[in-house]
Structure 1
Amino acid sequence: VIPGGYGQYELMSHEPTIQFLQKIYPQTKFLMTVCTGTLLAGVAGLLEGYKATTHWTSHHLLGYLGITPVKERYVVDRNVVSTAGVTGGIDGALILASLVAGSEVAQQIQLYMEYDPKPPFNSGYPSKAPKSVLDTVTNNAKSITDKREIACQNYAKLRELG
């Protein structure tokens, strides 16, 4: 599982982390990325040619990494489960549990967790959020999104050079 969030963009240019992911990936049966962890897996070259998702503020960056962007809460492509925002990680974990142990076990886990989300507001995705809320969050995320974009652009340039 590769998580995202604040601090993740620094790892996108941290060579020991990239090398670790490249080394361990061939030994894994499944890979799961949560939120902007998809970008970290992408700069490690693990998702080239895959369909995937990530947090909505960084969704436009997936193409730099050779990833086909899909605007869904979670995406399963071959051995990779990618999720959008952090709460999508719960959905992805349940999907991963079903892939590993079957849907009955995944449903048992969901019940034990009492996972039956009913958010108090209908603003959990940009297309649903009021414009003022969307504008504020977009503004607040601009600095970190810009840093992530630079890291993705650098990866794309290196990829072009071969």
Structure 2
Amino acid sequence: MIKRFIVGMGIAASMFIAGVTYFYFNKGEAIATEAAPAKKPAAEEETEAKAVIKASFRQKTPKNEMPAYSSMSEDELVQEVHNMTHQKVEASEKWGVSEITKDKVDALYMAIQNKNFGDPGLQHMLLRILKPWEKGDFSNAVKAHNEVWSYQHGNIGKAQRLLTPAEEAAYIKKNFK
């Protein structure tokens, strides 16, 4: 009789533990589902990322933050273009950042155009890179990065591809906001 009582209590205890476990895990899943933010559709995320990029490009660069491009050396101007490309490209290593704004692109273009370069080919390369940027077209950024990188004798950090809008928006938020 005692043996049956102990076996019965063991079965009851096991059922109780199984019920509590089932309730706990089901309730836990329901709570986790309710607490998790809804994932935005990919199209909405891309639209938001493109808006961040567009706003970054169109923002006015404060005068106290505008680099003095006209007084920079050729090497400093090359490095500025290189740093700007980092916002647009995927590369294993990136050293240097410079946010791309319309104001900066226009000022950089004018400074390079008006500077007397020792190597006219270098001046031509930089102007060719920047010309479409004035209109917000950065489709040449991978080629531009690698051309400047090669000119600087780079051996680590060759650009592989353009960043996705989400990757670029994250880069902007991390480095400039």
Aligning the two structures, in what range does the TM-score lie when normalised by the shorter sequence?
0.3 to 0.5
Q: Which has the higher strand share?
A: 1
Rg larger in structure? 2
Q: Using CA pairs below 8 Å that are at least 6 residues apart, which structure has the higher relative contact order?
A: 2
